[in-house]
Amino acid sequence: MHHITFRSRGGPDVVWNEVPLCSPHHLHGIHRGYMTLGGKAGSWLIWRFGTAGEAVPLEEWETLDDDNVQRLGPNRDPDSEEQARAAARADI
pLDDT at 11: 93
Provide CB contacts within 8 A for 45, sequence distance 6+.
Answer: 4, 19, 37, 38, 39, 62, 63
Segment 47-66 shows an average pLDDT of 82
Segment 50-77 shows an average pLDDT of 78
Please state the pTM of the whole predicted model.
0.70
* pLDDT tens, residue by residue, 27-48: 988 988 889 999 999 888 999 9
Q: 16 exposed, middle or buried (CB, 10 Å; 0-12, 13-18, 19+)?
A: middle
Q: In sequence order, which ranges of the chain are alpha helices (DSSP H)?
A: 23-24, 78-90
